[in-house]
Amino acid sequence: MATRIRSDIELKLVETAIDTLPGGEFGNGVPDIVVREGHGGRVWDESGNEYVDFLLGSGPMLVGHSHPQVLDAAQAQLVKGTTFFANNRQGIELAREIVAAVPCAEKVRFVSTGTEADAYAMRAARAFRKRDKILKFEGGYHGMSDYALISLAPKRPGNFPQGVPDSAGIPRSVQSEMLVAPFNDIETAQALIREHHDDLAGVILEPFQRLLPPVPGFLEALRETTSEYGIPLIFDEVVTGFRLAYGGAQECFGVMPDLCTLGKVIGGGFPLAAIAGRADIMAHFDRNLVGDEGFLTQIGTLSGNPIAAAAGLATLEILKRPGSYERLFRTGQDLMDALTELLKRSGLPAQVVGMPPVFDVVFASGTMKDHRDTLRGDAEMLKRFNSLLRERGILKGHSKYYVSLAHTPEDVRHTIDAWASALEELSKTVEHKNRHPKPL
């Protein structure tokens, strides 16, 4: 195992971060590493340590860091101007590509972040339906707005459909506007929609929730029930858009929502996100079509930024190449299969959860179908495992391995070797604790 070196430069930067940033970080939960650069499927920190990167900037770098085609596109625009607060060719062409690729997309509106996209999608549903309440699913992540932070990760789940705020500073009134259902529970979700259909503006969910694939029939049942009552169904595809398939989760699972949100991949590593969907709902962004009463105000200084749009277009062009998704899924499946086998050999209660482009280990046995199931996972053991992996040159977030087209067979071999070594050490630690429990 290579020892991670900490240079004076990096230590000084960490010290400065502690002095100037709350918690010593940007809020993303990786405070003890300062990344210097990234190329392909790897990154280097300020001390020169090299890592196979499964963080990928929390997912945007699907074609890898510093891809020459993406850099060329961004640099070509950079010398022409960085932002205009006006229509530009790159943004218009990216909107056209999204409409062509994403099944539900008839119109597109750009914003800068996934949080904005999800907040505007919920607002568009409210404007369209002239209702206030939104149904979401416990554990579903829809950004950082007040509404999204109801039952994102409740430590003590409430009783459905009552949600609980996950952050300080959220008005109590917001809690009453959100209904919460368990993910993958068809009967409960349908019952809540039928009971509250007169008050519901929309239903929002990640079709692939964090690490949890939908059980057969779940998305289809939601589509059928929301259609029955004319309630917009919103797919949050900030993560899954252009990742599970070129047309996103709605193509992958064969279920088309009324609206979707996109982010991460479509900006090619730059800040860009979008709301896309049915023309009659998206019409609320156009005052000329809906009048003052129906108009949904949306203004953003960097919305449709030409550099981000150029990088996004280049990224999508790479993804459209024959064999791209087959290669992405093959790499992810090889990793999932290897980790599953290593966990089995370790004897630890653990399992791999997710799909080839996005997965992780949960240190628990039993079925994983909703947020409450994932709470059985041993969070401390996962934290320790991630720390051991970082010492072995693997970078990932608290949860999720994001797989990229740039990850090579060598990256896969390095990762498998690191898993094997880390699990061996983790198993010894667990065995020692079992033999020498702390006195009560």
| CB proximity list for 325: less than 8 A, separation 6 or greater | 245, 246, 319
- Extended beta strands in 61-117, E state: 107-111
Quote the longest CA-to-CA distance of the chain.
Answer: 73
401 is catalytic: no
Peptide bond into 161 cis (omega under 30): yes
- Tally Cβ neighbours within 10 Å of residue 307: 25
**Using CB atoms within 10 A of its CB, is residue 236 exposed (0-12), middle (13-18) or buried (19+)?**
buried
How are strands ordered across the β-sheet holding 259-262? Answer: 107-111, 273-277, 259-262, 233-237, 200-205, 133-137, 178-181
**Cα 179 to Cα 181: distance, rounded to the nearest angstrom:** 7
> How many CA atoms lie within 13 Å of 351's alpha carbon, on the beta-carbon side?
15
| Catalytic hit among 185, 236, 258, 373 | 236
Q: Which residue has the tokens 């109801």?
A: 150
- Assess whether 264 carries a catalytic annotation: yes
Catalytic residue, from 51, 120, 141, 401: name it: 141
Q: Using alpha carbons only, how large is the chain's radius of gyration in Å?
A: 22
The CB density around residue 85, as the number of other CB atoms within 10 Å, is 12
417 is catalytic: no
- Report the C-alpha dihedral over residues 18, 22, 28, 32, rounded to 10 degrees: 20
Q: Are 35 and 70 in contact, with CB atoms under 8 Å apart?
A: no
C-alpha span between 401 and 386 (Å, rounded): 11
Give me the catalytic one of 133, 136, 264, 369. Answer: 264
No. of helices (H) and no. of strands (E), the chain: 15, 14
User: Secondary structure of 109-145 in the HEC alphabet?
Assistant: EEECCHHHHHHHHHHHHHHHHCCCEEEEECCCCCCCC
List the one residue out of 59, 31, 34 whose CA is nearest residue 49. Answer: 34
Residue 36: name the closest of 25, 17, 49 by CA. 49
User: Is residue 262 classed as helix, strand or coil in its secondary structure?
Assistant: strand
Residues tagged active-site:
141, 236, 264
